[in-house]
Chains A and B, each alone.
Chain A
């Protein structure tokens, strides 16, 4: 049963500390998405990768957030320095866009269980 995995599941840290969240996409998937979920804003797209290349990070605060894919099996989201307003649940999702056939954006995104972040 292929699943997206995320670590850690929970993280409590103090303001100013660095936070790194990791995601392992489903093997063979070539798109990765990072989302943030809060009560006030709902689900927001932070970053999007296709074939490990960052195509869109317009949803991220650039001064403190960074997202990378060091290899096809690992995506990371870093916050440095963290702030209390970053407290949220961060989801990673992966999908498969075929070279031909599937329309861009039509692929199903499979979500991980999320990282619940609390910044004190």
Chain B
């Protein structure tokens, strides 16, 4: 079955350290891949997406993600985390149609 997995429920980092949020997908073919962030009591905000082309995608707020077809991964990264990056992050994929399939989410906590 086609699915998106975020293997970590929580990620804790110190401010200024690199931040990585992991995402893997299970599908044959090439999905479209997205990252969204959700702050408390807010809707989801789009960060970046991969459709085709360069495997390294740069997005909002200094985030980037790398599409790795051999590892079926699309990890989100930020070189230097800020306290304000603390939020819930969702990886999502469109497989064969328009439907976004979301991962379960990863809660990121950046401590000062």
Interface presence of A106 (CB below 8 A): yes
Establish whether residues A105 and B97, one from each chain, have CB atoms under 8 Å apart when the complex forms: yes
Nearest Cβ in chain B — how far from A49, in angstroms?
11
Contact-residue size bin, chain A (C-beta under 8 Å from the other chain): 20 to 34
Known: A103-B51, A110-B46. A42 touches B94 (CB 8 A): no
Give every chain B residue within 8 A of A113 (Cβ-Cβ). 42-43
Contact-residue size bin, chain B (C-beta under 8 Å from the other chain): 20 to 34
Interface of A is mostly: strand
Establish whether residues B102 and A109, one from each chain, have CB atoms under 8 Å apart when the complex forms: no
Interface presence of A111 (CB below 8 A): yes
Which chain A residues numbered 83 to 119 have a C-beta less than 8 Å away from chain B? 91, 93, 103-106, 108-114, 116
Interface presence of A18 (CB below 8 A): no
Chain B residues close to A by CB (< 8 Å) = 32, 34, 36, 41-46, 49, 51, 90, 94, 97-100, 102, 104-105
Those 7 A-B pairs whose CB atoms lie nearest each other, nearest first: A105-B94, A111-B43, A105-B98, A111-B44, A43-B102, A106-B51, A113-B43
